[in-house]
Chain A
Amino acid sequence: MKKTALALCMLLVLAKAGFAQKYFTKNGTVSFEAGTALEDIIATNKTAASVLDAATGRIEFAVLVRGFEFRRALMQEHFNENYMESSKYPKSVFKGKIVNLGEISFQKPGNYPVTVRGTLEIHGVKKEITTTGSLRISGTSVLALAKFPVTIADYKISIPGIVSDKIAKTAMISVTCNYAVLK
């Protein structure tokens, strides 16, 4: 009886370990659009780091603010120098959890809609957010896609009146991360 229980327990541990796979990427894409009819403001960062824990559903992202590339050099400078103050706040971080983890099977290939809730830190300000996205699972890789709005004023990013017509009040953030197994 004791042995059976122990074996069962070990099996459980092993099963859990097999399941407890972590995924990561260091070259995820995070982009945003904050333009208006007057000006197109688009920037892309292709060096986002992220780790996804399949066992707990925890998911974390980190992007270096300086890594955002704009089409216009001056916009990029203003973004770093005036709005994001990237020397003071070099990183933006999201730490959250997949709410509907039970509906996702990391062993079974497929397209799963996900809801993620967590804390987004931009410009030194932390704020709770909830967003939806999708996980595309195929073999050992996981593709995560999400798109969500961020209200610029929530993060204490001040925009002077003279350019307020050119910059949207909310930025649309797109995330594309192609995860590989973390060993």
Chain B
Amino acid sequence: MKYLTTTIFLFTVFVIQAQEKDLLNLIDSTGNGQKTYVTGAFKSSRVINGHSIEFIGKHVLDVRILHRFGRVNDGIGEFFGLDQAAMRMGFDYGLGKDLTIGVGRSTAEKELDGFIKYRPIQQATGGKGASPVSVVLAAGAALTTQKFAADAPFTDTKHRMAYYSEVIIGRKFTEAFSFQVSPTYVHRNLVAERTDDNDTYAVGFGGRLKLSKRVAFVADYHYVISGLNKDIYKNPLSLGFDIETGGHVFQLHFSNATGMNEKAFITNTTDSWGSGEIRFGFNLSRVFTIGKKKNNPGS
């Protein structure tokens, strides 16, 4: 009888122990060892002027309306610059998760521009080969369609063209803070000043600091290394806020640049923050998902 009691006792203990253990511990349910991509480093596909490491998503059409008003220091007579506006209308389309193409047209110089942006490496956590940074390649071309002056010495189509290419390396450090660096090369077939080179080299810096779930402070700066006459041209700096209202992201900012594509804001910025020559501007973006339904568990 003693054996029986012992056995039953042991058995009971065993059952109780077995019950207390967490069932999910029996299998790996944590997703550890699974590569998870880091998303939402920036709210938008642009920091302010320059491309960000973010993409708009597959089969997404992003209609972008950008405005840059006149100089704030023009005073009340110009309603602090709001009487004038430069505008760019743009259409970006996500061919894939990591591939976006876009076209745009700006009122400044009646410029038409297009770009292609590709992300070979996306920041990830866990798993083998998870990258700590995202790497993005972007290249574009700009064509000014404004009429050249009657006495202009160069008037071929090639003289209207300019190109840019850049590598963007960025990381979402914390939920609130993201930062990116983007070495950029701009080639203009025709330059405005004799003191300028056709090739311009610059480094872009972009950052985001989230202030709340829906508001973030963003900064976008491009340091021109060589190729421009620094007496005339200034480095573009933009400071602003991303405000998300559910469906839209409004990017409101102050900047010394009017250009709204890489070639334009890097090589055409003549205003200076130091002299108070800053402008108010905003980026409006509305996305539309195009393409057939991928999942529909309801049906």
Interface residues of A (CB under 8 A from B): 2, 5-6, 9-10, 12-13, 20, 22, 24, 26, 29, 31, 33, 42-44, 47, 49, 51-53, 56, 58-60, 62, 64, 66-67, 69, 71-74, 76-78, 80-82, 87-88, 90-91, 93, 95, 160, 162-163, 174, 182
When C-beta atoms are compared, the residue in chain B nearest to A69 turns out to be B295
Chain B residues whose CB sits within 8 angstroms of the CB of A80 once the complex forms: 39-40
Contact present for A82 and B213 (CB under 8 Å): yes
> Given contacts A58-B23, A73-B58, is CB(A42)–CB(B11) below 8 Å?
no
Task: Let me know if B75 is at the binding interface, CB within 8 A.
Answer: no
Residue interface bits B1-40, CB-to-A below 8 A is 1, else 0: 1011001100100000011001110111111000010011
When C-beta atoms are compared, the residue in chain A nearest to B38 turns out to be A87
Contact present for A26 and B27 (CB under 8 Å): yes
Q: Which of chain B's residues 140-169 have a Cβ closer than 8 Å to chain A?
A: none
Of A6, A71, A77, A95, the residue contacting B39 (CB under 8 A) is A77
Contact present for A51 and B26 (CB under 8 Å): yes
Interface residues of B (CB under 8 A from A): 1, 3-4, 7-8, 11, 18-19, 22-24, 26-31, 36, 39-40, 56-58, 60, 94, 175, 213-214, 244-247, 287, 289, 293-298
> Given contacts A56-B19, A58-B23, A60-B23, is CB(A49)–CB(B29) below 8 Å?
yes
When C-beta atoms are compared, the residue in chain A nearest to B245 turns out to be A162
28 contacts between A and B (CB under 8 A): A5-B4, A6-B4, A12-B11, A20-B18, A22-B26, A26-B27, A29-B297, A42-B296, A49-B28, A51-B24, A58-B19, A64-B31, A64-B36, A66-B36, A71-B294, A72-B57, A73-B57, A73-B58, A73-B287, A74-B287, A82-B213, A88-B175, A90-B31, A91-B30, A95-B23, A160-B245, A162-B245, A163-B246
